[in-house]
């Protein structure tokens, strides 16, 4: 990680219609991994964390869908790099153009008109939209400014990520580094957010 300031907000439950599949027995290994990996359950390797997520979703009989803007498919690639991901990963939508966030993910056009595409409510709407459209238990979304130029007055490294299911949450990031650093670190932070929410949703 090249430097990151974060803020976490717990959100209201997502819109109705989400697919929630039956849970397996409580995942004791989630809490054990949290103790081993720090207070937020993080691990050093994005691949290790993605593997833990795939395993946890599989134990619960739950599924994941991703909605990406600045990461352009990198988040989905991190998940599908894990053997067995096909059992839990429904698919992803890369909505890079602003208008496609409405057309493909159902992000309200008036929300985009008021705040632009880089906003916590947009990230949350992307996550909820991809979850509902792809019939997944969890939606995970990224939107932000990768650089090198500002967008809408926002500097590079301004990023919002969100997940929906259980206790929906958004996270604001201020990432440092070049374009590649920002995109890579966004993927890592999105995986950490999902991992944290999986732990909190563990019965």
Token pair recorded at residue 55:
């395993």
Contact indicator for 95, 108 with CB cutoff of 8 Å: no
pLDDT of residue 5: 59
pLDDT of residue 8: 58
pLDDT of residue 26: 35
pLDDT of residue 117: 98
Rounded to two decimals, the pTM is 0.81
Q: Show the low-confidence residues of the chain (pLDDT under 70).
A: 1-44, 166, 203
pLDDT of residue 108: 98
pLDDT of residue 25: 30
Contact indicator for 21, 137 with CB cutoff of 8 Å: yes
pLDDT of residue 46: 80
Token pair recorded at residue 173:
């990031």
Residue-wise DSSP of the chain:
---EEEEEEE-----TT---PPP-S--HHHHHHHHHH-TT---S-HHHHHHHHHHHHHHHT--EEEEESTTTTHHHHHHHTSTTGGGTEEEEEE--SHHHHHHHH---HHHHHHH-SSSHHHHHHHHHHHHHHHT-SEEEEEEE--SSS-BTTBPTTEEEEEEESSS-EEEEEEE-S-HHHHHHHHHHHHHHHHHHHHHHT--
């Amino acid at each position: 990680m090249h430097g990151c300031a974060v803020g976490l907000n717990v959100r209201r439950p997502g819109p109705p219609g989400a697919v929630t599949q039956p849970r397996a027995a409580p995942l004791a290994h989630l809490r054990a991994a949290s103790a081993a990996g720090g207070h937020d359950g993080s691990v050093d390797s994005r691949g290790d964390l993605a593997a833990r997520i795939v395993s946890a979703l599989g134990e619960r009989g739950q599924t994941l869908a991703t909605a990406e803007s600045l990461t352009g498919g990198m988040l989905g690639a991190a998940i599908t790099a894990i053997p067995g991901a096909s059992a839990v990963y429904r698919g992803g939508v890369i909505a890079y153009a602003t208008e496609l966030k409405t057309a493909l993910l159902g992000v309200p056009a008036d929300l985009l008109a008021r705040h632009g595409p880089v906003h916590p409510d947009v990230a949350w709407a992307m996550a909820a939209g991809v979850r509902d459209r792809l019939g997944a238990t969890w939606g995970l979304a990224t939107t932000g400014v990768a650089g090198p130029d500002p967008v809408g007055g926002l500097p590079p490294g301004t990023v919002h990520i969100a997940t929906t299911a259980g206790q929906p949450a958004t996270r604001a990031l201020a990432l440092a580094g070049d374009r590649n650093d920002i995109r890579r670190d966004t993927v890592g932070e999105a995986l950490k957010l999902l991992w944290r929410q999986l732990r909190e949703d563990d019965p």
